[in-house]
Structure 1
Amino acid sequence: MECLITMETEKSNDIPLSSHFLPVAKIYNIQINNENFKVSGKLLNFDSPNLFTNHFNNDPSTDFIHVDRDERSFRTILRYWQGYCLTIEDELEFLNVFLDAIHYKLLKLSDSLKKIDYYFVNIGGKSFKIPKHLFQNQGDSNNYFYVLTNTYFTTIERNGIGRLKSNSSLPIYIERSSEYFQDILNLLYGYDLKLSTEKRKSLLKECKFYRLLNLEQRLINCMTNLNPMINDEIQEEILINLNDVAIRGLQLKIDDDRSHGIKNVTNRTSCEDYSYAKVCTTPSSSSSSPTNENEHINKRFKVSKKKENITWNIVKYMRPYIDAFPRELIFQLNSNENTIIFNKANKIIHIDIVGSSLIQFEEKFTKLLKGNNIDLNKFKYKISNSKDSTTREHLILPACINISDLKVNDISCRNICQLINDSALNENVIDVTNIQNLNYSPGLKLYLKNSCWKLGVKNNALILIAIKIDSFCGVKEYHKTLDFI
């Protein structure tokens, strides 16, 4: 059993007399409710002036006082005066002792109780005695309990015992899950817990409620790694869901040194710039020999060796409260509403972001990009649905998939040119080459199940660089993504 508070010892065994002190050797009879206590003046003087010293000093002829309060709380206070540890078990006992300390005008005790090393609360019907040292990490200290208890003490002291409303004199009760809070305590104590996706989401909600910002960041599912393949340098990266990115952790350093950043990526397909008509034309009978046909196929899938002389500055991310330095950000999109658009006529690639992903992307990156003279509104389009005439907002951004691990219909795709030029995969896609006159062009759409991206910025331009993509195209392939319930 912990000793929560110990009585301060005096330098002298006898407390010097003053106008509010009682004779130290005199014994006083104090009746609390139905129980009688004999208390020396020395003990009553410890936290004086108080209700008892005032009463006996005002009427020196009496040595008796009756107070209609809780005798159990007074017994705890008396043991504290006698030099024993002040031990409190739960929120109800703590409240009773604090209320009586206010009633008896015991200022030292009430101040000590406010500075006690524990929070006494009831969460979901279960009593918790929470050590305050668990919240010493930056981001966890100014938490829900700190604010709540300070407000609680202030309300009691300001109103006084007699004017307290009934709900103000109740123990602190928090209508949340006691099971989840016990998990939070275990994490704060340093234990490792095996968490399902659903459990992690629930605990993150609890951390937000209790304002445990440091623990919240440590609970967020992410992955850090060293990438040795970026310009012959070792670069640290962090992979995290876009929804979990904290805006305050985003950083972008524009570096003119071309030895940094990602080079030679573009939203062009890198396939030889043949027109769509030539690429998809069936070979004529005059060129049907194996040699000529192979030459035609080789031309169709020939990859341009011309490199873009651009080095993109990559957005970095430093998790608030827990990271000491920023890492290159790889953010994950999970919605299957988003698509990659291949424009076969112009040989360009864009990502079309809609719905919740669009809202999240704007929320996270708008301020950062505005600081670099990039307005996301210039990439937003309202496009009508041909079936029901409704309009929907689209954020269509230049994208590069040259260095990505691309999977289409559960099959790894190593030859993007072959995919783009496949005449069996052909549909009308949005052509954004002319912003003033949006039109449609022959192309291909890949619907994204999950995808990971880096955001690059250079010379007031931006590009999304795909790192890993899991996609599908076609109704049957979509149906494969469904599971039985």
Structure 2
Amino acid sequence: MASLMGNGHGAPGIVRDPSTVRGLEIPHVLPHEKVFPIQIGSKLFRLSGASLSSDAPSYFSEYFKCQLAQAETRRAQGEPDQGIKTLYIDRDPTIFSDISRHLQGYHIQPRDGSHFVKLFADAQFYQLPRLVSQLFEDNIYISIGGREFRVQKDLFTAPGDTPNFFTLGFAVMFSSTDAVFPGLDRVGLLRPPSIMPPAVPSRSGEVFAELIHMLKGYPLHIRNEAHRAELLRDCRYFLFKGLEQKLIPHSISHNLQRGKDEITIRLEDIRQPGLSITFDAPFQNSPSPEPLARHLRYSSPSMSGWVHYMRPFVDATPRELIIEISGECTRLDIDTMRAEFSGDAKKRVSRLVEVLATKINVPNARPMGLLMGSGKGSQPESPASGGLGEGSVKVVFEGSSSVVLDGRVWKEEEEEGGEGGMKMEEDGGVGADAPPRKRRRVEGGGAESEIWTVRTGQWRVRVQAASNDKSAVECVLIAVKIDAFTAELARNQERGFLSG
């Protein structure tokens, strides 16, 4: 029989830990066997002293303790016993029905955001410490785009995902169990203030559900770039910075020929904390010149290195950075081998150079490749020169650089004793050598530089000593893959008709 009763003191089949049983004891704030009447709105509730003592001290326990003390005083003075007066409170009896079940030992769960704030406000008003603590530690109830969500707070434990919209937004009203009504004096408060249920009607409930799905650790199929943009937009709205870094377009691979891990990422998605420079080892030999390495002078190892990147909050180790710049915002001068950027790309490249300069203690961005004072990059742009203006950056073509110019594969060849030739592969795949590209003449007898417009370019970033000043440092973009055109004809050929 004892085995059926567990330890002999509990229900059959239940083994109770004595320490746990002691923790469930109800304090004797009020007589456990006595019943106390409470009128909430139009409904009368009768709760035992044990129920009221289970979450005390509270408004109820203090009120009825005073009633019992007054009754004891009257008995001591020989006055007739008038009994316990009914406590009347003008609040919602439906909400108090849930609270009464909590006092009777049942676990209550808010149904939605509206139910949550009503329970929370009344629990504070009735000064029920255990219920307030339970609701304070409970899930986040919120309506987004008209759809109700119950969000577990432990979903925000990943690096970068906190603080966020919820931890900051709920901090005003639900930040402390002691001060839930900021600016209001609890003494003499007839009723709690009206609290609007948390809601974000301006965002999509479907998109938020997908974000929660990812926060739970599940993979999400991104249908297209428009879908990715929706996810990223709401990630930034709700301040899920760690999740945002997982969603941004990127490519991580291992380059076996270079023996390095690489990360390709868009220029606009680069964040300053993720940038670093891996300097060349002092004992490392300079790389052997490639067919097109005439544009690149590798500097002393102590002054040169490759820029690496790791996504904040996501990656553990940095990888060699390949920046993708798109949107036809790059103009490339083939004669001076310098690139000029426009619009937001110009600001971002300048900022990138400034950040790299601070990492190697360079006073400003000018020694890092912007306006180095060599070639056309140091001269103001004019129609006669046809070159690039201020703010250009040095670029390099290597033999491994993949270049598509005007829709055809472009290759440059080194000719002995002469200028570099150009090789354009025909559509049939058969190579045909072309004579060196001649620069167009302008008035005054000068030669016009050849300018490419780069649709999309991928570049490695290298920091090295400037070729014309060994005491200075410059930033060099090494071409990895480029899609460019020389005339508007090639651009127009890529256009599509709106009518299909």
- TM-score normalised per structure 1: 0.78
* Aligned-partner residue type, residue 268 of structure 2: N
Structure 1 equivalent of residue 284 of structure 2:
259
Query: Are 1:121 and 2:110 matched, yes or no?
Result: no
SS at match of 2:449: strand
Q: Work out whether 1:479 is the aligned partner of 2:495.
A: no
The answer for the alignment partner of 2:15 in structure 1 is none
In the alignment, what sits opposite 1:42?
A: 50
Residue range with higher mean Cα deviation, 237-246 or 173-182: 173-182
The amino acid of 2:331's aligned partner reads: T
Please name the residue that 2:13 is paired with: none
- Within the alignment, does 1:419 sit opposite 2:419 as a pair? no
- 2:11 is matched with none
Distance 1:143 1:262, change over 3 A: farther
Q: Secondary structure at the match of 2:51?
A: helix
- 2:253 paired with 1:225: yes
Q: Which amino acid aligns with 1:475?
A: E
Query: For 1:90 and 1:310, how far apart are their aligned partners in 2?
Result: 65
Q: Distance in 2 between matches of 1:406 and 1:180?
A: 39
Within the candidate set 370, 373, 376, 2:365 is matched to 376
Sort the Cα spacing of 1:266 and 1:325 in 2 relative to 1 into closer, same or farther, 3 A.
farther
How far, CA to CA, are the matches of 2:441 and 2:192 in structure 1?
Answer: 69
Give how far 1:195 is off. Answer: 3.1
Q: Can you list the C-alpha shifts for 1:160-187, whole angstroms capped at 9, x where unaligned? A: 4749996x61111123222221221122
SS in 2 for 1:483: coil
Match of 2:224 among 196, 200, 204: 196
Q: Which residue of 1 aligns with 2:244?
A: 216
Query: Is residue 321 of structure 2 the alignment partner of residue 329 of structure 1?
Result: yes
Q: Deviations over 1:294-330 (max 9, x none)?
A: xxxxxxxxxxxx9867664110001111111000000
Percent identity, aligned pairs only?
24
Structure 2 residue 403 is matched with structure 1 residue 406: yes
Distance 2:41 2:389 in 1: 72
1:196, 1:355 → 2: CA distance? 26
Does the alignment pair 1:445 with 2:451? yes
CA distance in structure 1 between the partners assigned to 2:275 and 2:232 by the alignment: 20
> 2:375 matched to 1:364?
no
1:25 matched to 2:67? The reply is no
- What value does the CA root-mean-square deviation take over the aligned residues? 3.1
Q: Distance in 2 between matches of 1:198 and 1:477?
A: 27
SS at match of 2:337: strand
Q: Secondary structure at the match of 1:398?
A: strand
Distance 1:339 1:10 in 2: 77
How far apart are 1:72 and its partner, in Å? 1.9
| Separation in 1, partners of 2:208, 2:151 | 11
Structure 1 residue 260 displacement after superposition: 8.1
- Residue 206 of structure 1 aligns with which residue? 234
| Number of the residue aligned with 2:76 | none
Identify which range, 450-459 or 372-381, moves more after superposition.
372-381
Structure 2 residue identity aligned to 1:228: L
Shift of 1:256: 3.8
The SS at the match of 2:463 is strand
1:351-392 deviations in Å (ceiling 9; x for gaps)? 1222221111122331222332273346246845659xxxx9
Q: Is the 8 A contact 1:237 1:327 kept in 2?
A: yes
Note the alpha carbon deviations across 1:76-103, whole angstroms, 9 max, x for none.
1222222222211100000000000011
**Contact 1:241–1:332 under 8 Å retained in 2:** yes
2:180 counterpart of 1:156: yes
Residue 462 (structure 2) aligned to one of 444, 453, 456: 456
Which runs of 5 or more residues in structure 1 are unaligned? 1-7, 271-305, 430-439
SS at match of 1:340: strand
CA distance in 1, matches of 2:357, 2:343: 20
Please name the residue that 2:152 is paired with. Answer: 131
Report if the CA contact (8 A) 1:341-1:445 is conserved: yes
Helix, strand or coil at the partner of 1:185:
helix
Pick aligned residue for 2:131 from 87, 92, 109: 109
Specify whether residues 362 and 307 from structure 1 end up closer, same or farther in structure 2 by C-alpha distance, changes over 3 A only.
closer
Instruction: Specify whether residues 261 and 95 from structure 1 end up closer, same or farther in structure 2 by C-alpha distance, changes over 3 A only.
Output: farther
Partner of 1:146: 167
Counterpart for residue 11 of structure 1: 22
**260-269 vs 462-471, which deviates more?**
260-269
Q: 1:396 to 1:241 in 2, by over 3 A?
A: same
Give the Cα–Cα distance (whole angstroms) in 1 for the partners of residues 325 and 160 of structure 2.
Answer: 27
Q: Is the 8 A contact 1:91 1:120 kept in 2?
A: yes
- Structure 1 distance, partners of 2:474, 2:323, is 19
| CA apart distance, 1:255 | 3.1
User: What is aligned with 1:435?
Assistant: none
Structure 1 contact 339–446 (Cα < 8 Å) conserved: yes
**SS in structure 2 at match of 1:331:** strand
Report if aligned partners of 1:90, 1:127 keep a CA contact under 8 Å in 2.
yes
Q: Which amino acid aligns with 1:401?
A: F
Question: How many residue pairs align between the two structures?
Answer: 418
Distance 1:266 1:34 in 2: 92
State the Cα distance separating 1:22 from its structure 2 match. Answer: 1.1
* Separation in 1, partners of 2:198, 2:113: 7
Report the AA paired with residue 110 of structure 2. I
Amino acid at match of 2:198: I
Contact 1:25-1:40 at 8 Å conserved across structures? yes
Kept after mapping to 1: 8 A contact 2:330/2:454? yes
Work out the CA distance in 1 between the residues paired with 2:464 and 2:408: 33
Taking the aligned partners of 2:145 and 2:204, their CA distance within structure 1 comes to: 5
Cα separation, 1, equivalents of 2:286 and 2:264: 17
Question: Residues 187 and 193 of structure 1 are in contact (CA less than 8 Å); yes or no, is this contact kept in structure 2?
Answer: no
C-alpha distance in 2, partners of 1:25/1:110? 26
Q: Say whether residues 1:176 and 2:203 are aligned partners.
A: yes
Cα gap change, 1:308 to 1:204, in 2 (>3 Å): closer
Task: Give the Å deviation of 1:411.
Answer: 0.7
Contact 2:173 2:182 in 1 (8 A): no
- Contact 2:293 2:397 (8 Å CA) reproduced: no
User: Shift of the alpha carbon at 1:340?
Assistant: 1.5
Amino acid at match of 1:27: V
Distance 1:454 1:62, change over 3 A: same
